[in-house]
Amino acid sequence: MYTRCPACQAVYELRAGLLAEASGVVRCGNCGKTFNSLSELFERHPESDAEPLRGKGMPPMLEHPDMVQAELPVDTFDDDEGSEAAPLDWLESEPSSRAADARRLLWPSASAALLLLLLVQFWLLWQTPGSIVDRWLGGSSQPVGNLDPNQVIQIVSRDLHAHPSLDDAVVISASLRNQAEATVPFPIIEVRFFDASQQVLGVRRVTPEEYLGDPDRIERGLASGLMMPLLLEFVVGTSRPAGFQMRFH
């Protein structure tokens, strides 16, 4: 087989290795042009006016093969061999049955875990005084009276300033917070006034009836975590205090 460069008309003999190396694409050694040798293919050395081989578009039928692959032997199985293979079906179905058993056990396990979680939450609510579960079960939401109010009631903020309309009075504003996990009674508040040299000018005690005035609220007590604003007015006369201290009883 031969091919001809379409640029410089140089003719080259083709071998099967050259055609297979780049799917028929070659480069002319005379002018350097790259072209597809299959489009310029000749069966014999071409003359200057010879036309290259042209296909008809349809793949040609190859005939007279040199070698035909022999048929592979087919193994045959008799009835006895088929009966011996039957246990394989049972082995294949065993994982499926195990998966089905696992799925059947999944729902009871999940339900038991959910029930346990609900019981724990129910118990926690039951142990919380004043909670809805405590009220359902008839528990008492009355304040716990055996706690030291100075340990469980936190003074978040406090301030002392002159009374806006009385010259001989002062106003104390404070915020109290119950840090206990249970409701505590409203305490009796003791206020000690000091002068600039830290000498005690006077001591006053204020009951819940005086600083709240609401019997129902006093009976309910100060709930856990609740912040309560406090505003107290005191007549101090001409000795104006420079500071004060609060305690609970």
Owner of token pair 């405590």: 134
Question: Does the pLDDT at position 174 exceed 90?
Answer: yes
pLDDT tens digits for range 112-142: 888 999 888 887 776 665 556 665 665 544 5
Q: Which of 8-22, 76-90, 107-121: highest mean pLDDT?
A: 107-121
Q: What is the CA radius of gyration of the chain?
A: 52
* Order of all β-strands in the sheet with 169-178: 153-162, 169-178, 227-235
pLDDT for position 57: 60
Q: How far does Cα 104 stand from its chain's mean position?
A: 29
Distance of alpha carbon 103 from alpha carbon 97, whole angstroms: 10
Compute φ and ψ for 107, nearest 5 degrees: -65, -45
pLDDT for position 73: 60
Cβ-contact 166, 235 below 8 angstroms = yes
Question: 63 Cβ partners below 8 Å, 6+ apart?
Answer: none
* 149-248 fold: Immunoglobulin-like (2.60.40)
Distance of alpha carbon 1 from alpha carbon 10, whole angstroms: 14
| Higher local confidence (pLDDT), 62 or 187 | 187
Q: How long, in residues, is the chain?
A: 249
Cβ-contact 171, 197 below 8 angstroms = no
| Higher local confidence (pLDDT), 38 or 248 | 248
| Higher local confidence (pLDDT), 125 or 109 | 109
The domain segmentation of the chain, as residue ranges, is 2-42, 149-248
pLDDT tens digits for range 199-228: 999 999 999 999 998 899 899 999 999 999
pLDDT for position 106: 81
| Average pLDDT score over the chain | 79
Q: How far does Cα 173 stand from its chain's mean position?
A: 45
Question: 196 Cβ partners below 8 Å, 6+ apart?
Answer: 242
Query: Among the listed ranges 14-28, 32-46, 64-78, 92-106, which one has the minimum average pLDDT value?
Result: 64-78
CB atoms within 10 A of CB 240: 16
pLDDT for position 56: 63
Six-digit token string for 174: 């404070």
The amino acid at 102: A
Question: Does the pLDDT at position 29 exceed 80?
Answer: yes
| Higher local confidence (pLDDT), 98 or 151 | 151
25 SS3 class: strand
Q: What percent of the chain has pLDDT over 70?
A: 73
Short-list 191, 178, 183, 172, CA closest to 150: 178
Query: Among the listed ranges 136-140, 199-203, 231-235, 238-242, which one has the minimum average pLDDT value?
Result: 136-140
Question: Does the pLDDT at position 168 exceed 80?
Answer: yes
pTM of this prediction? 0.42
pLDDT tens digits for range 30-82: 898 888 877 787 878 888 777 776 766 666 665 666 665 555 565 555 555 54
Contacts of 42-45 with C-beta under 8 Å, sequence gap 24+, read 42/1, 42/2, 42/3, 42/4, 43/1, 43/2, 44/2, 45/2, 45/11
